[in-house]
Amino acid sequence: MNANLDEPRWLLERREEATRAAGTLPMPDRAAHRFRFTDPAWLWAGVGTGADTADVAVEATLAAGVAGTFPGVLASAGDALAEFLGRLARPDDPFLAFNLASFTSGAVVVIPAGARVEDPVRIRMRIAKTNQGTACAVRNLIVLGRGAQARVHETLDVEDGLANVVTEVVVADGARLEHAWSEEAGPGAAAFTHLRTSVGRDAFVSQSGLLSPAGRGKAEVVTTLADRGSRAEATALILAGGESHADLRVIEDHAASDATSRVLVRAVASGGGRAVFTGLLRVREGASGSETYEEARGLLRSPEASADLLPELEILTHDVRASHGAAVGPLDEEARYYLMSRGLGAEEAEAMLVRGFVGPVLDRLPSEFAARLPWAPAAGENG
Amino acid sequence: MMSLAPETPLLAVRDLWAGIDGKTILKGVNLVVRPGEVHAIMGRNGSGKSTLAHVLMGHPAYEVTRGDVFLDGRDLRDLDVTERARAGLFLGFQYPVAIPGVPVTGFLRAALRARRSGGSESADVPVREFRRTLLGAMREAGIPEDFASRPVNEGFSGGEKKRLEVLQMLMLKPRLAILDETDSGLDIDALKAVADGINRGIAAGIGVLLITHYQRILDHVKPDVVHVFLDGRVALSGGPEVARELEERGYEWLEAPGEAVNPASLGTR
């Protein structure tokens, strides 16, 4: 592997453990929902291949705390890294293990207890090209101390090759994080991302995602509601056009009582694109008083496009309020006719309908993400 | 479109045959509406009234097999829905369609831009000016202000939807508004508000083709001509007295075989 020998002992040990796991753990089963629609082989380049380094940048205005990138950040954020890195997203499957074993780049953001960061912290990851048969591994860590508040905008652009990006997030008791992420992969490129978040007592996290690969993209958003009164909101917009394959998996894992989670997904598939969403709401034993809600809707814009949206529930306790719904359909022709009868052109009418369809999740994305979309709302258009 | 010879009808329908899914519904409709006139079309359910409305608007599911339609002397045959709207045709829907996620404001602003300019950005209406105009029109139509930011027709009551249809007509100022049962399902207050709106449109020079089941809207909106639709064609045309006659006698007398209907005999009873 490519571990730097100057790395601290704890990291070398974790890498060793991960290397063993990556070589021995079985590939995830396609019978399980996680990889039901996406062949794991598309995202796997094997163990022991030489890794490329991604271009990772952090932009932050912090009065205190840390914002930096590997390897330099090992010196400034050593304690937080030793405490959390590889501890949330453990090397318990080949993808996560490979990542921990071989990452050489990534960003680390630590917001101290009680701090309130006004401007969004931006993490930009760009992977221009990886060697044949090589996955570029990137690992990020975001820690918000007790009562801290921050926004993080995390973007991944894979122009060519294969990326494996894991981001671990700790939201300590009473903290509040608004986390926006986007994942893009060029034609022929593939990206695997895994966002693992732990939410503390009375803490809150919102995760707003945009998954819009031109090639193949698989994004996993796994959130543990780890303590009483924690809250999580995951929203996402999945766009699959051309020949692209976009697969989002969300898990809201209720491990404590009186926690709430809400998942809202919109998928638009056009051309020959395939959009996939699987969303698991899990309420563990003892997590009474939980509330969890999931809604996913898909829009098919061509006969060749497909969208598979599968909510799952795993409720192991009583005293839970859980609901979910999923629906996929084409553009409403009567609505299109109605708009055209008011003088809108066919394309304008369709754009307006699509914009309306994705509105509930688009409105949650930072404007810098939304501005890249073809039917971004004009200023003032939104009532 | 503005410099028309006075004799050019606003709408001329000649021997129009049309249907859907291979089934013929309109069987030779003839109709002439002159500029500024108000025409009512009455008829039973299934007589083809709504089909006529959608065929005139250019709904893609309907097929015209014969006949001509002219708006301001312009042949509508090859125009799609958008082009017909921009030519000055408006359809008030019997069942206004919900547009999830699209607020009334954004929708109407886009519609106004399209109507004014054929859709080009240059005719954009400044947001503030537009909002002022819209809120004024909403007050007049008796639509609560907060509707402006709600999605079009979503969660609206039947009456609210119809009010919004009339409001759209007033803002878009078409040459001819086809109002398809805009009066149905309304309580008395809503009926009054809708009728007031239609009358404001008429006063502003909009020609109206009012499709209705009931005489009661015609107590508020005075038609110049009343047509009775039967089995896909106009069976009888006359003055407002025709509507009263229908109210009293129903439609059956019009179907009596061999009975010649003489409009001149109406209104003398």
Domain boundaries, chain A: 9-330, 333-383
Q: Which range (A32-36, A135-139, B157-161) has the least confidence?
A: A32-36
Q: Quote the pLDDT of residue B265.
A: 46
> Is pLDDT of A145 > 60?
yes
Q: Which residue has the tokens 């960003």?
A: A107
For residue B75, what are the contacts with CB-CB under 8 A and spacing of at least 6? B68, B69
> Does residue B1 sit within a domain?
no
B131 and B105 together in one domain? yes
Q: Work out the minimum CA distance from A37 to partner chain B, whole angstroms.
A: 29
> Quick one: closest CA in B to A334, which residue?
B97
B84 and B213 together in one domain? yes
| CB < 8 Å to A381, chain B | 105-106, 109-110
Last residue of a domain, one of B155, B174, B199: B155
> Quick one: closest CA in B to A380, which residue?
B127
Q: Which range (A47-61, A299-313, B21-35, B248-262) has the least confidence?
A: B248-262
Rounded mean pLDDT of B4-31? 91
What does pLDDT average to over chain A? 92
> Does residue B172 sit within a domain?
yes
Which pLDDT band, with edges at 50, 70 and 90, does A383 fall under? very low
B143 and B224 together in one domain? no
Rounded mean pLDDT of B78-96? 96
What is the CA B88 to chain-centroid distance, rounded?
12
Q: Work out the minimum CA distance from B90 to partner chain A, whole angstroms.
A: 7
B79 and B35 together in one domain? yes
Tokens found for residue B10: 């606003």
Q: Quote the pLDDT of residue A54.
A: 85
The ipTM estimated for the assembled molecules is 0.92
B89 and B191 together in one domain? yes
> Does residue B2 sit within a domain?
no
Q: Are B107 and A352 inside 8 Å of each other by CB?
A: yes
Q: Which range (A243-252, A350-359, B144-153, B239-248) has the least confidence?
A: B239-248
| CB < 8 Å to B168, chain A | 342
Q: Are B81 and A377 inside 8 Å of each other by CB?
A: no
Please answer whether residues B31 and B100 qualify as being in contact, where contact means their C-beta atoms are separated by less than 8 angstroms. no
> Quick one: closest CA in B to A335, which residue?
B97
Which pLDDT band, with edges at 50, 70 and 90, does A382 fall under? very low
B252 and B172 together in one domain? yes
Rounded mean pLDDT of B93-108? 95
Rounded mean pLDDT of A207-232? 97
Instruction: Write the DSSP string, B149-209.
Output: GSBTTTT--HHHHHHHHHHHHHHH--SEEEEESTTTT--HHHHHHHHHHHHHHHHTT-EEE
> Is pLDDT of A207 > 50?
yes
Q: Which residue among A337, A352, A380 sits closest to B102, beta carbon to beta carbon?
A: A352
B169 and B250 together in one domain? yes
Q: Work out the minimum CA distance from B176 to partner chain A, whole angstroms.
A: 13
> Does residue B196 sit within a domain?
yes
Q: Name the CA dihedral angle for A141, A145, A149, A155, rounded to a multiple of 10 degrees.
A: 0
Q: Which residue among A340, A355, A358 sits closest to B85, beta carbon to beta carbon?
A: A340
Per-range mean pLDDT, top range of A171-175, A360-364, B134-138, B234-238: A171-175
Domain containing residue B245: CATH number: 3.40.50.300
- Domain containing B200: what range? 11-95+165-265
Please answer whether residues B1 and B175 qualify as being in contact, where contact means their C-beta atoms are separated by less than 8 angstroms. yes
Query: What domain count does chain B have?
Result: 2
Query: What is the distance between the alpha carbons of residues A323 and A312, in angstroms, rounded to a whole number?
Result: 10
Q: Quote the pLDDT of residue B261.
A: 53
Last residue of a domain, one of B155, B183, B198: B155
> Is pLDDT of A92 > 70?
yes
Q: Which residue has the tokens 């410099």?
A: B3
**Is A39 in the B-facing interface, judged by CB distances under 8 Å?**
no
B178 and B245 together in one domain? yes
B121 and B254 together in one domain? no
Rounded mean pLDDT of A237-259? 97
Q: Which residue among B57, B96, B106 sits closest to A381, beta carbon to beta carbon?
A: B106
| CB < 8 Å to B104, chain A | 383
> Is pLDDT of A358 > 60?
yes
> Is pLDDT of A336 > 70?
yes
> Quick one: closest CA in B to A362, which residue?
B101
Q: What residues 362-381 of chain A have any CB closer than 8 A to a CB of chain B?
A: 377, 379-381
> Is pLDDT of A130 > 80?
no
> What number of other Cβ atoms are within 10 A of residue A118's Cβ?
9
B89 and B111 together in one domain? no
**Is B148 in the A-facing interface, judged by CB distances under 8 Å?**
yes
> Quick one: closest CA in A to B118, which residue?
A343
Rounded mean pLDDT of A5-24? 92
What does pLDDT average to over chain B? 89
Rounded mean pLDDT of A100-105? 93
> Is pLDDT of A123 > 60?
yes
Q: Quote the pLDDT of residue A230.
A: 98
Q: Are B115 and A342 inside 8 Å of each other by CB?
A: yes
Q: Quote the pLDDT of residue B257.
A: 54
Q: Which SS3 state, helix, strand or coil, does residue A317 take?
A: coil
Q: What percent of chain B has pLDDT over 90?
A: 65
B67 and B106 together in one domain? no
